[in-house]
Homo-oligomer: A and B are copies of this chain.
Amino acid sequence: MSTEQYTYQYPHPAVATDCVVFGFDGRELKVLLIERGIDPFKGMWAFPGGFMRMDETAEECILRELKEETGLQLTTIKQLGTFTGINRDPRERVISIAFYSLSPDTEVHGGDDATNARWWPIDDIPQLAFDHDYILRQAMKRIRQDIHFEPVGFGLLREEFTMAELQRLYESILGIHFDRRNFYKKMLQTGILHEVSETDSPSYYGKRREMVSMDIDNLFADHAATDNGIPRLFMAQSLPDCDMDDETPSLHSSPRQQPGRKGKLFRFDKEGYDRMKEEGNFRLEF
């Protein structure tokens, strides 16, 4: 396999893919990064990704690279944008088709060109290779926008989750604080949550009374772009008073609540969501 094998009449840029994978551990939003094992930017952190082959689409490419470099087997990704800065890669002209994705906070490991892979808190990202810090900012904007129209967040949670976890997730993504009781009501009245009874729950850990959980699967991809053309407003924010809970004495430190969680568990109710979509009167607004 010598060099200089592929020739074209006109110059072609190389085409790569990158993916911003968001995760959530119940407390804060995280991003999956790999430590580059090869130059350029060897030793620096970057998003998983790699060069596209001629027999795969960009989507197939990034899913393959994700598996190779981090062990993560995702199925649902969403295009974020394509970055075509002329000098974004020192080797040659490389354009990057960037995706983003939501993942439960699972184990990852380095592999292939990545010497290491780990989750980084969104507030503590190291310096990134290429133009990846710019891409990350774009991804943050995007997820905050998408969450208004789609039950985006559920992809970040385990199948069963408490209302508190769901609320913290929304607060993490949007960067605002909701009234616990109103959040509870709003979420329930959307009809997209399914309360899990104790016996239903397969992964029941602890001895709570009841549990609620969610179905999701690849809901994210299904509704990435709404199919009737008119997107549903899933959740809008209006920056209310953002007060602390009334009775809460004061708790300005970072929120606690470790995995030893309390409360009902919920599932995402895919059927309920589809039903709401049909009727067209689906709206959640904070």
| B281 x A52 contact (CB < 8 A) | no
How far apart are the CA atoms of A142 and B144 in the complex, in Å?
Answer: 16
* Given A59-B84, A225-B138, A54:B11 Cβ within 8 A: yes
Evaluate contact between A10 and B6: CB separation under 8 angstroms: yes
A8 to B91, CA, bound (A): 12
**Which residues of chain B come closer than 8 Å to A82, judged between CB atoms?**
58, 79, 82, 97
Q: Which residues of B contact A4 (CB under 8 A)?
A: 7-9
Q: A273 contacts the other chain (Cβ, under 8 Å)?
A: no
In the bound complex, CA of A176 to CA of B230 (Å) = 10
- Which of these binds chain B: A101-109, A204-212, A214-222, A232-240? A232-240
Q: Tell me whether chain A's interface is mostly helix, strand or loop, or mixed.
A: loop
Contact check, B9 vs A12: say whether CB atoms are below 8 A apart: no
By the criterion CB–CB under 8 Å, are B81 and A57 in contact? no
The copy count of this chain in the complex is 2
Known A3-B9, A6-B8: A81·B79 in contact at CB below 8 Å: yes
**B12-A14 in contact (CB<8A):** yes
- In the complex, are the beta carbons of B149 and A15 less than 8 A apart? no
A54 and B231 within 8 A (CB): no
In the complex, what distance in Å separates the CA atom of A172 from the CA atom of B92? 44
Q: Closest approach, in angstroms, between the C-beta of A73 and any C-beta of chain B?
A: 21
Q: Would you call A95 an interface residue if the criterion is a C-beta within 8 Å of the partner chain's C-beta atoms? A: yes
| Chain B residues whose C-beta falls within 8 Å of the C-beta of A9 in the assembled complex | 3-6
Interface: A188 (CB within 8 A) = no
Instruction: Kindly state the separation between the CA atoms of A140 and B172 in the bound complex, as whole angstroms.
Output: 31
**Chain A interface category by residue count:** 35 or more
CA separation between A84 and B43, bound complex, in Å?
31
* A95: nearest chain-B partner, CB-CB: B15
A13 is an interface residue with CB less than 8 A from chain B: yes
In the complex, A283 has a CB within 8 A of chain B: yes
Closest CB of chain B to A167's CB: distance in Å? 17
How far is B148's CA from A239's CA once the two chains are assembled, in angstroms?
A: 17
B contact residues around A202 at 8 Å (CB): none
A155 to B166, CA, bound (A): 38
B12 touching A231, Cβ below 8 Å: no
Given contacts A57-B86, A97-B82, whether A231 and B141 have CB atoms under 8 Å apart is yes
The answer on a CB contact under 8 Å between B8 and A175 is no
Report A138-168 CB contacts with B as 1/0, cut-off 8 Å. Answer: 1011101100110000000000000000000
B149 touches A145 (CB 8 A): yes
Within 8 A of B (CB), among A79-99: 79, 81-82, 84-86, 92-93, 95, 97
Q: Chain B's nearest CB lies how many Å from the CB of A170?
A: 12
**In the bound complex, do residue B233 and residue A84 qualify as a contact, i.e. CB atoms below 8 Å apart?**
no
